[in-house]
């Protein structure tokens, strides 16, 4: 199993905006696109991918199952509907979007349905999102060692999630960092700005390079073609030990997303 280290996110992008964003991302070199059922943009993502002319085998598409579809009789049909919208026979990765501990459906039921989706060939890999250590342990027990490709979690210089990230590394589960720029808040950080100036880079590139050097996958989004192209250059930026230490000191437990009823008790 492998997760691309760099992809384009589509959270909060809809309509023509997401079509343009995905088209531009693919134009400038992205080959991984992340969406979700709840984003309401799978059809537009599928349209942009189809119009790109890029062969399906050269792309890595991720979607996430929404909480309404966690029951065993809903998950697979909902994923089939997602595939129709995305204009593809399969996705490369399907995630459980939130633990949603209060929704009345046992994790065992949801993960069994997710495993069924993989067995049916609807998704090449499966994983989780926003799971804490305890829930990830449960998921490993239910699915088996090596079955969980990634845990997609909020992670940025302001929310470094070291305990969870270390656990995932021990288990061989890739960390996918979302909101790596903390809704843009880190772009104004003076420490990051000074590091960026030293490297003749942008602050966004520094934040993304930091995550990449820690071994995380990143999925930043942008509506601007120039920013999409610029962000990709983070792959070539090498931060030194001093840079990494300075960024490590920025931890402030600055969580941006914590939906009541969906989120677990965070580590």
Mean model confidence pLDDT for the chain = 97
- 264 lies in a domain? no
Report which of 139, 157, 156 is spatially closest to residue 148, judged by C-alpha positions. 139
d(CA 152, CA 177): 6
- 86 lies in a domain? yes
- 239 lies in a domain? no
- 247 lies in a domain? no
Cross-sheet strand order for the sheet of 91-96: 8-9, 32-34, 60-65, 91-96, 123-129, 148-154, 174-178, 217-218
Active site residues: 39
Helix (H, G, I), strand (E, B) or coil at 92: strand
- 51 lies in a domain? yes
Q: What percent of the chain has pLDDT over 70?
A: 100
Number of domains in the chain: 1
pLDDT in tens, 5-27: 999 999 999 999 999 999 999 99
- 262 lies in a domain? no
pLDDT in tens, 192-237: 999 999 999 999 999 999 999 999 999 999 999 999 999 999 999 9
Whether the predicted pLDDT of 109 surpasses 80 = yes
When pLDDT is averaged across residues 95-111 and rounded to a whole number, the result is 96
Report which of 202, 205, 222 is spatially closest to residue 213, judged by C-alpha positions. 205
What is the per-residue pLDDT for 102? 85
pLDDT in tens, 155-173: 999 999 999 999 999 999 9
Alpha helices (runs of H) in the chain, residue ranges in sequence order: 15-28, 42-52, 75-86, 107-119, 133-143, 162-171, 190-199, 203-213, 225-232, 241-248
- Rounded to 10°, the helix 225-232/15-28 angle is 40
Output the six-digit token pair for 236. 């070539």
Confidence label for 113 from pLDDT (cuts 50, 70 and 90): very high
Whether the predicted pLDDT of 75 surpasses 90 = yes
- 261 lies in a domain? no
- 190 lies in a domain? no
Q: pTM to 2 decimals?
A: 0.97
When pLDDT is averaged across residues 261-267 and rounded to a whole number, the result is 96
What is the per-residue pLDDT for 1? 63
Domain interval for residue 35: 8-184+215-221
Q: What percent of the chain has pLDDT over 90?
A: 99
When pLDDT is averaged across residues 109-113 and rounded to a whole number, the result is 98
100 φψ region: left (φ > 0), alpha (ψ -120 to 50), beta (else): left
CATH of the domain at 41: 3.20.20.100
């Amino acid at each position: 199993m492998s997760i691309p280290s760099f992809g384009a996110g589509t959270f909060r992008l809809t309509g023509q905006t997401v079509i343009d964003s995905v088209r531009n991302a693919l134009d400038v070199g992205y080959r991984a696109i992340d969406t979700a059922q709840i984003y309401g943009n799978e059809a537009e993502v599928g349209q942009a991918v189809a119009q790109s002319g890029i062969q399906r085998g050269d792309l890595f598409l991720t979607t996430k199952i929404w909480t309404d579809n966690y029951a065993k009789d809903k998950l697979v049909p909902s994923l089939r509907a997602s595939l129709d919208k995305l204009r593809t026979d399969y996705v490369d990765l399907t995630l459980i979007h939130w633990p949603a501990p209060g929704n009345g459906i046992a994790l065992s039921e949801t993960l069994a349905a997710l495993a069924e989706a993989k067995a049916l060939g609807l998704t090449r890999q499966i994983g989780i999102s926003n799971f804490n250590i305890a829930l990830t342990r449960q998921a490993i027990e239910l699915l088996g060692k090596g079955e969980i490709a990634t845990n997609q979690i909020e992670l940025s210089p302001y929310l470094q999630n070291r305990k969870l990230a270390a656990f995932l590394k021990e288990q061989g589960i890739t960390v996918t960092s979302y909101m790596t720029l903390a809704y843009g808040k880190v772009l104004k950080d003076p420490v990051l700005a000074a590091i960026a100036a030293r490297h003749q880079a942008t602050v966004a590139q520094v934040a993304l390079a930091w995550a990449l050097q820690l071994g995380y996958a990143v999925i930043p989004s942008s509506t601007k073609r120039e920013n999409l192209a610029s962000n990709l250059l983070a792959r070539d930026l090498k931060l030194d030990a001093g840079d990494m230490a300075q960024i490590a000191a920025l931890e402030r437990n600055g969580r941006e997303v914590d939906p009541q009823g969906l989120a677990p008790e965070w580590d």
